[in-house]
Every structure is written in structure tokens, then in C-alpha cells.
Structure 1
């Protein structure tokens, strides 16, 4: 689907997209001008207010992107993951699901993401395991991050959002 004409948008929405770099996902979401402001706020908060350490946040986002086969999401978040210091073995594991070469915490985070993606909840044992490395705030952030990036991946795939050519 074609990107919206930003010039046709209300000034505050046009500015909100511009402040975030005019990347395609943010532009495309303006096809829903009533929901776009809240989406943009949540997207920003996923980075600025997320209690997960950035490397764990990106690991989980990459796992969701790969499970949803969302190339746009994967492309951008591999770059972000590298920028925040996530190692190549963890990036590869997020893609393949092969957990042999990752640290125990990374393995657990991928397993938790898989459980949320597969069953839409965690068992008592999985919650207990999560609490060995995450406080309650971080566990909530994990669940919200998986859920938000499911939404994002569904949106990207449905609208065929393409990777920017800078």
C-alpha cells in the first residue's frame, strides 16, 4: 500500500512523524489519523520508558519480528540491537530459535517470548523462572513489548511496509 501524503495530514501529526525521522512505519500508520498519535507515543515509550535493559528489549523484539516473518521489523531492530550491544549469537538465536550459543538469561527471554507468542500467557513455572532475572516492572514490560511488537509486525505485514532507502 502506498505511503500517505504527509502534506495532507494535520500539522501536529505531520510534525510527530517528522520528529521520529519520517520512517515508513510511522508514515504508514497515519492512514489511521485518529489512532496514529497514540501509536507513535507507545512506540516512543517502548524505547524511552521500557524497564527492560535495551539488549533484552531488542532480543525480544527480534524474536517477535522473526516469528511474524516481518522483514521491516527485523531489519531495523537488528541495527538497533547491534547499536545497544546485543551480540551476534543472540541476534542469530532470535532468528533461528536455536538457543545453544546464548547466555542463560537470553535463552530464558527467548523462551518466554515464545511462550507468549504460542500460548498468549505464561505458566506459573515460566513466571517463576522469569522472576529469577526480571522484577515485576520488567516482567510487565516484557509482556507489553511482545504484545506491542505483535501489533507492529501485523501492521507492517498487512500494509507491506518497505524498508527505507536512505
Structure 2
């Protein structure tokens, strides 16, 4: 985590305007996110409810079955992006989602080490492509060919969409100082640096 306190405080339900409540009300249950209180990311973004509403439209595409990457592979991209962006909040949320999507704890830990950490060729291609997008905002031709050996062109496009979405998410989480939700603990490798 880059900040130990929020720069922008998450809004408490009693402080929501009608417009904020309309956007936030459905976020406490269902889908990839388990039922419960509205997460800090959304309560923070609610300071800009129109932006949050637009953000949710794209985010829902990335996390839905419309994204052709299978859920496990999608979570590999999200977790690697969150780790590269040093986003403790993102990593914490998606480590749990990744487990529900089929990633083992040792795989989640190996994502920190990158593509050469004993992955299958398909997983290594996903991780390499994510690294290249993070460092150069471009997937090299050899890595693109490696992706297409295992994934469709649409899946490769969805990898780019997913990495881009979670780079943006990491930027806002880090900059706004969004803190972990109740009951969560930060991975020691993502403590303040």
C-alpha cells in the first residue's frame, strides 16, 4: 500500500446522495463480489457518481462472460497487473477472487515472480504479455504469437482490455489511498515501500 490513510474517504451510507445511492445500492451483493457491505473502492469512487457509473459499465464487461478469457486466466492478468502496479488493495481483493476462479495459493504467490516461475506455456504467455503491457504499453510480436498459440484473437484482445482496466483501477486505488476492507490483511510483499 502506498498510503496508510485514504486521501479521499469512502462515503458512509448515511452520507450518500440519492444519485450516489442509486449507483452504490446494487454493489453490495451478487456477481463476482460476494454479498455484503459496499467495498471501499466503490464508496470512494462515489464522490464522482457519474464516473463510477461509467466505470462500472466497462468493469462489468471485463469481469463478465462477455470477456472471452476464462475466469482463471483473467485473474492471472488482473493479479499480475495489480502486483506490478504495487496495488495492495487490488491484490488483496483479487487473490480471493482468483482462488474462487481456480488459482491455487502457490500460483497466486508465483505470480509475483513472473512468467519464468514454472508456468505452463499458455500461462507464461499471459504473464509475459501483461508484463510487456505494463512496462511498454505494447505486446511484442513474439509474445503476441505465443498468445495466439493458446488463445483466440478475441481472447488476446480481452487480455489487453483487462490489463488496461486494472492498470486504471490500480492507479486510482493507489492515488486515492483506498484502504483494505474490514477483515482483510495486506500481503507483506505489498506493504509500503
With the length of structure 1 as denominator, give the TM-score of the two structures: 0.91
Counterpart in the other structure of 2:11: 4
CA positional deviation for 1:98: 6.1
The runs of 5 or more residues in structure 1 that have no matched partner are none
**Aligned equivalents of 1:100 and 1:163: distance in 2?**
28
**Aligned equivalents of 1:6 and 1:86: distance in 2?**
34
3-state secondary structure, aligned to 2:172: helix
CA positional deviation for 1:65: 0.6
3-state secondary structure, aligned to 1:43: helix
More divergent stretch after superposition (7-16 vs 80-89):
7-16
The runs of 5 or more residues in structure 2 that have no matched partner are 1-6, 29-37, 184-193
Counterpart in the other structure of 1:47: 63
Q: Deviations over 1:10-65 (max 9, x none)?
A: 53542332211211111111122231111012222211121100000001100011
Cα pair 2:23 2:49 within 8 Å, conserved:
no
With the length of structure 2 as denominator, give the TM-score of the two structures: 0.79
Is 2:180 the partner of 1:154?
A: no
1:71 to 1:165, Cα distance in 2 relative to 1, 3 A: same
What is the number of residues matched between the two proteins? 166
Q: Of 46, 52, 61, which aligns to 1:36?
A: 52
Within 5 A, what are the aligned runs for 1:53-92?
A: 53-92=70-109
List, as ranges, runs of 4+ consecutive aligned residues in structure 1 with deviation greater than 6 Å.
none
**Aligned equivalents of 2:160 and 2:84: distance in 1?**
16
CA positional deviation for 1:94: 1.5
More divergent stretch after superposition (96-105 vs 85-94):
96-105
CA RMSD, Structure 1 to Structure 2 (Å):
1.7
Bigger relative contact order, structure 1 or 2 (CA pairs below 8 A, ≥6 apart): 2
The structure with more helix, counted as a fraction of residues? 1
